[in-house]
Structure 1
């Protein structure tokens, strides 16, 4: 028995050493030249106006008006936090009359948006959308869509339509669709998305919507590619971020359980681009890779944002943010001269230059 225990321990130690060796010898993108350079629009990091702790309570940045920014609360679609995000600003908690049946049905599987006079709850597991008029909360609409959850979505500026990245059951992949809340007008994309029949994992990315231009941009996490399309799901242009990783760096593994095929990431995090947002014709992308001209100390200390022109895909330049480089960022949001960064622990408000 003792011999078997020693043998088992030896195997476990050997397996651990193999993993350590693989990690230590794996290529580290930010410890070697990546073949591109950045043009920083100013040498110092952009200043932080204010920093608010999330208390593990804030789920999403859901919108803004002329004076306030709004945030949803984890696990409760009827609760919203509002703040000016000025220096030393406080927060107000608002309760909206979302029906209990809606809250119960979406549970924790939702994200929200505030769009003009509307408050919208996207229940991505059902899948469903609930829309309420803030000026008259008795006016509300609820729609449930065909099978297949969605991962991202936006209310269009016309207030009537929504664009979703939704799982297509037959294709086993995610496609972009445009829907309305009468559920009588569904437009499905034609050749916008690459299909790999893996539930959309290998083509995962960040969807942005610029309300000023009415254009969507989808930025891949695992390669340097992005594309822009309009509200009729027609491609406007293709682009790429400034790094050189044109081939996806995502490795897919499959497994089977009692419910069927399961897809998962087979390797370490090899993200090229992080989260993104858009406003006034400019795309803001969280940079993950170090440029050849980045100073080790600055890049190792600060989060970096790259800017692109949405209409052409042209690179504009980059900024350091006064946010630690290792901060786990969950979302970006921009409105006029404020860039809002939602991290696991804090909401940061960054002042953008004129």
Structure 2
């Protein structure tokens, strides 16, 4: 009996040592030269001017903003909105938006919300369906639209409030493509040649789609490679670019699981994220940096969050900034409007002023 225990203990110790050796010898992107340099626009981190607690991560999304308020959606409750000016001593207001009971029950936890021109758009990306609505009690009833089979992972309502652009699963292609939806007649216009197809459900080309209301341009930034491209509201390519780093080939690994009815795509991981979340406004694209540049101060990069900025139309790099937010903060979203940048962290929403 005692011999069996010793044998089991020896096996456990050996397994631990193997894992430790693999971790220590595995390539660490931020502990080796990555082949690019950054230009910081200021030496000191941009200070946080206001914060809003997320309430144990109760805030799901930054939905949008108008001239005086920012709007936030609430986890597991698509009909509740939090509004705040994010000014000192300001009290956040909570109100409800009108949703049909069937839509509310269907979206469950799988939704995100956008605010545009006094309207709220709630996306049930697993249904797939979109509900256009306003505050509860509004005379105008909510309008729900459902689309063909195949969920969507990204959505942007355009500034005319009459069109959406979705990144939607195309069942036949087994990949995600960009689609423009016209609200008046629910017609769908499919892209032609914007997306690179890998027939993996769009997982290896996962990323963030931003919309700049100033220029009317959309930009898609890949998470797992340094690629991004900009296109207009008719889904015509405007320009292609890349972020600072040199990781031009995705290191994302796919595993599939087939059964009699479907094929499920999964991350075979671990995956290497090159870019984090992004946002856009006034002709500038903001991207959360995930990789250390060769000229980055290791202490500063390890302490603060970093964003890189690019000109949307040309893709030209404009510079980088430290944010006075701990580098290890789990960031869920970036949002920018004018000179105000919001960062959605796990415990707080951070507001800071930018001047670019």
Shorter-chain TM-score: which interval? over 0.9
Q: Is the 8 A contact 2:230 2:312 kept in 1?
A: yes
Query: In the TM superposition, what whole-angstrom CA distance separates every residue of 1:133-187 from its partner, at most 9, and x where no partner exists?
Result: 5594424311110011101101111111100011111111111111133554110
Give the CA deviation at 1:281. Answer: 0.4
Query: In the TM superposition, what whole-angstrom CA distance separates every residue of 1:289-341 from its partner, at most 9, and x where no partner exists?
Result: 11111111111110000000000000000000000000000000000111000
Give the CA deviation at 1:257. Answer: 5.2
After TM superposition, the structure 1 = structure 2 runs for residues 114-193 of structure 1, keeping only pairs within 5 Å, are: 114-133=115-134, 136-182=138-184, 184-193=186-195
Say if 1:11 and 1:263 are closer, same or farther in 2 by CA, change over 3 A: farther
SS of residue matched to 2:131 = strand
Pick from 193, 202, 207: which aligns with 1:200?
202
| Number of the residue aligned with 1:344 | 346
RMSD after superposition: 1.9
| Number of the residue aligned with 1:59 | 60
CA distance in 2, matches of 1:215, 1:233: 10
More off after superposition, 67-76 vs 8-17? 8-17
The gaps in structure 1 that reach 5 residues or longer are none
SS of residue matched to 1:170 = coil
Give the CA deviation at 1:53. Answer: 1.4
2:26 matches 1:26: yes
Q: Is the 8 A contact 1:145 1:183 kept in 2?
A: no
Give the CA deviation at 1:117. Answer: 2.2
Give the CA deviation at 1:87. Answer: 3.0
2:282 matches 1:275: no
Q: Normalising to structure 1: TM-score of the pair?
A: 0.95
| Number of the residue aligned with 2:16 | 16
CA distance in 1, matches of 2:87, 2:175: 42
CA distance in 2, matches of 1:27, 1:89: 47
CA distance in 1, matches of 2:99, 2:339: 32
CA distance in 2, matches of 1:195, 1:87: 48
| Number of the residue aligned with 2:335 | 333
- How many residue pairs match? The answer is 354
CA distance in 1, matches of 2:173, 2:315: 29
Give the CA deviation at 1:105. Answer: 1.6
Say if 1:255 and 1:289 are closer, same or farther in 2 by CA, change over 3 A: same
